[in-house]
Amino acid sequence: MTQATAPAELPIESLVRRRRWLRLPPAWRTPLAVIGATIALAWVIIALVGPLIWPYNPLTQSAHLLQAPSAVHWFGTDELGRDVFSRVLAGARVTIPLALLLVIMSMLVGASLGAIAGFFGRWVDETIMRITDLVMAFPTVILAMVVAAALGPSLFNAVLAALIVSWPGYCRVTRGLVLALRNADYVLANRLLGYGPWRSLRLDVLPNVVGPVLVLASLDIGTAALLLSGLSFLGLGAKPPTAEWGSMISDAVQNFSDWWLGVFPGLAIVTLVMAFNFLGDTLRDALDPRTASIVGKAEQV
């Protein structure tokens, strides 16, 4: 008689088992989820309470130019004597809200068009999808650059340009989901009970499409942050003296040997994007009925 047991617990699993308040649904108990959630939460808090915690005003110039990191200026100072640490914290207040805004708007525009295309089909579908194809045919960043350049450099215009290139992705995905669902038995059953097409779309199809679209959106936050930072890096987004990570890195190119000018904003972008990517992966695993619950599988005995 042999005994085969599950592999030995990881330390984090042991911690979760002993501390009841960490008892989350299975998909959330991975190291990936915890790290992602912690970092993302940290950045959100920084964005919210920035002015209360930054040691210097991010816009205040001083005479201490291009100083290396020290006890006084943790991340050093830039070419105008501004404290880099405070500017990095301030950058969160720009990037995070705008990235979220961009994702929400792209999702609303793209998903609505995609749902209509998928549900009504025929010429409505053709029209919307050809427009989508047209926009998607352009390389994302180049199109965003063109639009931003045409509108003039400002954060608002950068968001607008990014919106124009981001909505087609949601449109395609939502259309696919809606196509799969619109012939589901329960949708048909309600049509037989007198549901008109708009009611059917609103009550039967969309609620079951929201989950995957939200996952896509959460995975997209990182991309949105990168896109906005990229536009700012190219001078098409944030205008000086706004502290924004992309423009900070752009400025750092001039003073390449002063490594702290570019590395810290760069790390900020990397950690933020990674954190939201981890969160997005976790959300996807949590919502995927196959991975979310192993017990669900056991029902198929």
Partner 1 sequence: MSAPVGPVITITDLRVAIAGTQILRGIDLSLTSGRIQGLAGESGSGKTMTGLAVLGLLPPRSTVSGSIDLTGTDLVGLTPKQMNLIRGRRVSMVFQDPSTSLHPMLSVGAQLTDHIRYHLKVSRTQARGRAIAMLASVRIPEPEAAMKRFPHQFSGGQRQRIAIAIALACEPAILIADEPTTALDVTVQAGVLRLLRALADDMGLAVLLITHDLGVMSAIADDVAVMRAGLIVEAGPRGDVLVTPAHDYTRSLLASLPGATGGVSSLEDIRALAEPTDAIGGAR
Partner 2 sequence: MSEGLRIQGLEVTYRGHPPVKAVAGVDLEVAPGEVVGLVGESGCGKSTLARAICGLVAPSAGQITFDGVAVRPLGMSRRPADLQRIQMVFQDPYSSLHPRRRVGVQIGEGIRVAHARGVSDAGSPAGWLQRVGLRAADARRYPHEFSGGQRQRIATARALAAQPGLLIGDEPISSLDASTQSLVAALMHDLAVAAGAGLLFISHDLSVVRLIADRLVVMYRGRVVESGRTEQVWSSPQHAYTQTLLAAIPVADGQGTLPAAPADDVEYSLEPVLHASG
- Residues binding partner 2 (CB under 8 A): 120, 184-186, 188-197, 204, 207-208
130: partner contacted, choices partner 1, partner 2, none (Cβ within 5-8 A by kind): none
**C-beta of 253: minimal distance to partner 2 in Å?**
51
Q: Which residue is listed with tokens 């590395």? A: 263
141: partner contacted, choices partner 2, partner 1, none (Cβ within 5-8 A by kind): none
Question: Considering beta carbons, is residue 137 or 193 the nearer one to partner 2?
Answer: 193
Question: Considering beta carbons, is residue 25 or 55 the nearer one to partner 1?
Answer: 25
Question: Considering beta carbons, is residue 204 or 258 the nearer one to partner 2?
Answer: 204
The answer to the question of residue 294 lying near partner 1 (CB under 8 A) is yes
The correct pick among 20, 26, 61, 68 for binding partner 1 (CB under 8 A) is 26
Distance (Å, whole) CA 195 – CA 187: 9
Question: Considering beta carbons, is residue 112 or 190 the nearer one to partner 2?
Answer: 190
The answer to the question of residue 97 lying near partner 1 (CB under 8 A) is no
Q: Is residue 128 within 8 Å of residue 113, measured between CB atoms? A: yes
Distance (Å, whole) CA 33 – CA 26: 11
190: partner contacted, choices partner 2, partner 1, none (Cβ within 5-8 A by kind): partner 2
Question: Considering beta carbons, is residue 97 or 296 the nearer one to partner 1?
Answer: 296
Query: Cα–Cα–Cα angle for 159, 163, 169, nearest 5°?
Result: 145
120: partner contacted, choices partner 2, partner 1, none (Cβ within 5-8 A by kind): partner 2
Q: How many CB atoms lie within 10 A of CB 40?
A: 22
* Terminal C-alpha separation, the chain: 24
Task: Provide the token pair at 158.
Answer: 């950068």
Q: Is residue 235 within 8 Å of residue 250, measured between CB atoms? A: yes
Task: Provide the token pair at 20.
Answer: 């009841």
**C-beta of 177: minimal distance to partner 1 in Å?**
21
**C-beta of 285: minimal distance to partner 2 in Å?**
19
* SS3 track for 245-297: HHHHHHHHHHCCCCCHHHHHHHHHHHHHHHHHHHHHHHHHHHHCHHHHCHHHH
The answer to the question of residue 3 lying near partner 1 (CB under 8 A) is yes
Residues found near partner 1 in the complex (CB under 8 A): 1-6, 26, 293-295, 297-301
